Structure 1
Amino acid sequence: MNTTAEPSEPTAPPSPDELLEIATIAAGAAADYIRSLDREHLAREYKTSSHDIVTVHDKASEDIIAAELRRLLPSCRVVGEEAGERPAEGDGPAVADPGQVVTFYVDPIDGTSNFAAGLPLFCISIGVTVGDELVAGVIDAPVLGQVFTAADGPAMLNGREIHPRSTNAAADALVVSGFPGQRGVTEFPELAAKAQQELENGLSAVRHLGTAALELAYVAAGWADATFLASINAWDIAAGFHILRRAGGSVRTWPGRGQKGLPDFLCPAYVACTGPERLDIVDELFEEVQALRDADL
């Protein structure tokens, strides 16, 4: 008699709608935690500088999210801003092949500076991939009461469909972005000075919300024409990219100094517009950013 345990049969990953439900439940648990806090007395720490802060609640929020994701889908991989990669644990079902691995990209509090200061402009962002393909995303702004979601259907805000619109011409466009910001001034000072002037003169208005994920959600909703940054991480943008595209928006990315040919949500630079029409003034600036980075390789 053969007593050797047979390996579990590999199974296909859950559907995009099922993965969105898992991500939304996890984001909701973290949102409940955040809403319970006394945000008037928050302690802050610094990661790399005073421009890059973190609180104990960022870490607690990510732990809550990771625990919920593991409870609902033990075979998943979690990549978070605070703890990095958390490989799958437990005895969840095997997946058919590496291209079917489910990964949740988690920013537990995007806009930590706003959060720590008492501003409501911050959110929880969870993007979901199967292999290298974005299939779902949720952006939950817990104090504002705004939950943006998308799987393989239309993008939604609080359960109601977001309707796409055209991108306004540059002279009428309101954009939400912190570009070039402190990082840009440090990395490419001459181009940063030029970009600041060109954007202020060439666009109707430039606003910096301090949260890349929420800026992408607001562009998806048609409340702004574009958003763009030159240095970003996957957990900031994965959910927003998917929601924006499902709402009818367009995204261009640039690889920076990293590996060419990566999925777009792993690229550090992007310009996202609310419709298929592009803002040439911004795309051209980002071509210059990439050229400078290529010259340094």
Structure 2
Amino acid sequence: MNTTAPRSPSAPSPAQLLEIATTAAFAAAEYIRGLDRDGLAREYKTSSHDIVTEHDRASEEIIVSELQRLLPSARIVGEEGGVRPAEQPAAESEGPQVSFFVDPIDGTSNFAAGLPLFCVSIGVAIGDELVAGVIDAPILGQVFAAAAGEATLNGRPLRPRATRPAADALVLSGFPGQRIGNEFPEFAARAQRSLENGVSSVRHLGTAALELAYVAAGWADATSLGTINAWDVAAGFHILRRAGGTIRTWPGKAGVAQADHLQPAYVACTGQERLSVLDELHEELQELRDAAL
């Protein structure tokens, strides 16, 4: 899993960018697999719902070190370290800025509790366009990846399939969640009932990246959140689209449309068919946010 060949002076291809991201994700996954995960110490960032461990930071540093070694002209946006500008300027021939969106451990609460539902997630954009992504679940032995071709799971293609009708649909989501509950408590209470009554079943895995990957694999029909960051979803958005899925996003409190992976609210479905209950709830949430501006 070592990428040591020198780069050409032209812009890296999506396949080359995926190889770089996969190498960095593998290095972090190897570190995580070597840990004794009993009794991990945790710290709180914004609240008890937003935790971090020393291993989140260590994993990110491993990833950053690999990415800077393999592509020093790239910008890195990490959950723990924020925006790291390119170490060296890109050549004019390389075109728009390459950005890596890094979540070193997505699902930290699960990781800290000893559950295996967590992953390393690295999405790659050229300018504002996602071109590659890898999601590596170290304990589960699952590596989801995509560049310009088919999305894969452990090297095997993920075949597109239709979204099931709502009555049969499984949704992986924590929507509306605690943050929206604080923001719009009446809406959140009603939205939770509408979602649970509107589809066959709802499950919350506690990791947005794996929820997107599992929808991409066709193991669930949709996933959705109303408040998210680019490092959580960049890889998953690209993998899901390359697997034949569809994504709608909303601009949230900012009220300004951006590239999908930079928007805070989304509904992703495994096929071209949409689950109207989720899309309609997000339309209503956006109207509430717009009215509050």
Distance 2:187 2:58 in 1: 39
Secondary structure at the residue paired with 1:282? helix
Q: CA RMSD in A?
A: 1.2
Taking a change above 3 Å as real, the CA distance of residues 257 and 93 of structure 1, as seen in their structure-2 partners, is closer
Aligned with residue 276 of structure 1, among 263, 272, 288: 272
**What are the equivalent positions in structure 2 for 1:43-192 lying under 5 Å apart?**
43-90=41-88, 93-96=90-93, 100-192=96-188
Aligned residues: 286
Distance 1:112 1:74 in 2: 28
Query: Could you tell me which residue of structure 2 aligns to residue 213 of structure 1?
Result: 209
Distance 2:159 2:31 in 1: 31
Larger Rg: 1
Structure 2 residues not aligned, in runs of 5+: 1-7
Contact between 1:13 and 1:102, CA under 8 Å: does it hold in 2? no
Secondary structure at the residue paired with 1:100? coil
Distance 1:256 1:284 in 2: 14
Aligned with residue 10 of structure 2, among 12, 37, 51: 12
TM-score normalized by structure 2?
0.95
Query: Could you tell me which residue of structure 2 aligns to residue 5 of structure 1?
Result: none
Query: Could you tell me which residue of structure 2 aligns to residue 27 of structure 1?
Result: 25
Distance 2:167 2:240 in 1: 22
Could you give the per-residue CA deviations for residues 102-131 of structure 1, whole angstroms, max 9, x where no partner exists? 100000000000000000000000000011
1:228 equivalent to 2:224? Answer yes
Contact between 1:81 and 1:235, CA under 8 Å: does it hold in 2? yes
Structure 1 residues not aligned, in runs of 5+: 1-9
AA of the residue aligned to 1:94: A
AA of the residue aligned to 2:270: T
> 1:261 offset after TM fit, Å?
2.9
Quote the sequence identity (%). 72
Taking a change above 3 Å as real, the CA distance of residues 199 and 93 of structure 1, as seen in their structure-2 partners, is closer
Contact between 2:181 and 2:188, CA under 8 Å: does it hold in 1? yes
Query: Could you tell me which residue of structure 2 aligns to residue 258 of structure 1?
Result: 254
Secondary structure at the residue paired with 1:139? strand
> 1:48 offset after TM fit, Å?
0.6
Distance 2:146 2:78 in 1: 20
Query: Could you tell me which residue of structure 1 aligns to residue 194 of structure 2?
Result: 198
Contact between 1:105 and 1:127, CA under 8 Å: does it hold in 2? yes
Could you give the per-residue CA deviations for residues 5-55 of structure 1, whole angstroms, max 9, x where no partner exists? xxxxx9432000000000000000000000000000210000011000000
Distance 1:12 1:253 in 2: 32
AA of the residue aligned to 2:219: W
Distance 1:193 1:12 in 2: 52
Contact between 2:250 and 2:257, CA under 8 Å: does it hold in 1? no
Contact between 1:12 and 1:100, CA under 8 Å: does it hold in 2? no
> 1:96 offset after TM fit, Å?
3.8
Distance 1:211 1:269 in 2: 15
> 1:258 offset after TM fit, Å?
1.7
Query: Could you tell me which residue of structure 1 aligns to residue 5 of structure 2?
Result: none
AA of the residue aligned to 1:53: I
Secondary structure at the residue paired with 2:252? coil
1:286 equivalent to 2:287? Answer no
Query: Could you tell me which residue of structure 2 aligns to residue 4 of structure 1?
Result: none
Could you give the per-residue CA deviations for residues 75-102 of structure 1, whole angstroms, max 9, x where no partner exists? 1100000000011114x652447x6111
Secondary structure at the residue paired with 2:123? strand
> 1:292 offset after TM fit, Å?
0.3
Secondary structure at the residue paired with 1:209? coil
Secondary structure at the residue paired with 2:254? coil
Distance 1:197 1:58 in 2: 34
AA of the residue aligned to 1:204: S
